[in-house]
Structure 1
Amino acid sequence: MNYINKLDYMIFYDKVGALNGWDFSTLKVATEGEKWDFYKEVTDRCEKSDLLLDIGTGGGEMLLSITDSALLLVGIDHSKDRIQTANANLQKSNKANARFLLMDAENLEFPPSFFNVVSCRHSNFYAEEIAKVLVKDGMFLTQQISDNDKLNIKEAFGRGQQFGSDEGLWKEKYLEELAQAGFSDIQHVEYDATEYYKSYEDLIFLLKHTPIVPDFGQSEHDFDILQKFIEENQTGQGIRTNSKRFMIIAKK
Structure 2
Amino acid sequence: MTMDAEFYSRVAERFGGYFSDARSTDVFVDGRPDAVFDEMVVELGAPQARLLDVGCADGRSLLRTAHAYGDVTGVDLSSAMLECAARYRAEAGLSHVTFELRDAARTGLPDGHVDVVTSRRGPLIADEFERVLRPGGALVYMGIGEQDARELKETFGRGQDFGSWHGEPLADGIARELTDAGLVVTVNRAFRFEEFYHSARDLDVFLHQVPILDGYDSAADKEPFDRYVAEAAVDQGIRLGRHWFVVQARKPVVETSHS
Report if TM-score (shorter chain) is over 0.5: yes
> Counterparts of 1:99-118 in structure 2 under 5 Å?
99-118=98-117
| TM-fit CA distance, 1:190 | 0.6
Do the aligned partners of 2:194 and 2:240 also contact (CA within 8 Å) in 1? Answer: yes
Question: Partner letter of residue 47 of structure 2?
Answer: K
> Counterparts of 1:65-144 in structure 2 under 5 Å?
65-144=64-143
| TM-fit CA distance, 1:152 | 1.2
Counterpart for residue 3 of structure 1: none
Residues 99/251 of structure 1: CA separation in 2 closer, same or farther (3 Å cut):
same
Residues 107/245 of structure 1: CA separation in 2 closer, same or farther (3 Å cut):
same
Percent identity of equivalent pairs: 26
Deviations 1:67-98 (A, max 9, x none): 32111111111101111111122122211221
| TM-fit CA distance, 1:179 | 1.1
Q: Flag as ranges the 4+ runs of structure 1 deviating above 4 A.
A: none
Distance 1:34 1:74 in 2: 30
Distance 1:27 1:167 in 2: 32
Question: Partner letter of residue 109 of structure 1?
Answer: G
Counterpart for residue 212 of structure 1: 212
Do the aligned partners of 1:194 and 1:243 also contact (CA within 8 Å) in 2? Answer: yes
Distance 2:172 2:17 in 1: 28
Do the aligned partners of 1:148 and 1:167 also contact (CA within 8 Å) in 2? Answer: no
Question: Partner letter of residue 64 of structure 2?
Answer: S
Q: CA RMSD in A?
A: 2.0
| TM-fit CA distance, 1:167 | 4.4
| TM-fit CA distance, 1:204 | 0.5
Counterpart for residue 13 of structure 2: 18
Counterpart for residue 189 of structure 2: 189
Deviations 1:153-206 (A, max 9, x none): 112112222121234453333222211211124431112211111221221012
Distance 1:27 1:47 in 2: 36
| TM-fit CA distance, 1:10 | 3.3
Counterpart for residue 3 of structure 2: 8
SS at match of 1:50: strand
SS at match of 2:106: coil
Question: Partner letter of residue 174 of structure 2?
Answer: Y
> Counterparts of 1:159-178 in structure 2 under 5 Å?
159-165=158-164, 166-178=166-178
Distance 1:185 1:161 in 2: 25
Gaps of 5+ in 1: 1-5
Q: What TM-score comes out, normalization by structure 1 length? A: 0.89
Residues 24/77 of structure 1: CA separation in 2 closer, same or farther (3 Å cut):
same
What is the aligned residue count?
Answer: 246
| TM-fit CA distance, 1:111 | 1.9
Do the aligned partners of 1:34 and 1:191 also contact (CA within 8 Å) in 2? Answer: yes
Do the aligned partners of 1:78 and 1:102 also contact (CA within 8 Å) in 2? Answer: yes
Gaps of 5+ in 2: 252-259
Do the aligned partners of 1:146 and 1:168 also contact (CA within 8 Å) in 2? Answer: no
SS at match of 1:71: strand
Question: Partner letter of residue 212 of structure 1?
Answer: I
| TM-fit CA distance, 1:234 | 1.5
Worse-matched range after superposition: 77-86 or 162-171: 162-171
Counterpart for residue 28 of structure 1: 23
Q: What TM-score comes out, normalization by structure 2 length? A: 0.87
Distance 1:168 1:146 in 2: 11
| TM-fit CA distance, 1:59 | 0.8
| TM-fit CA distance, 1:53 | 1.0
SS at match of 2:103: coil
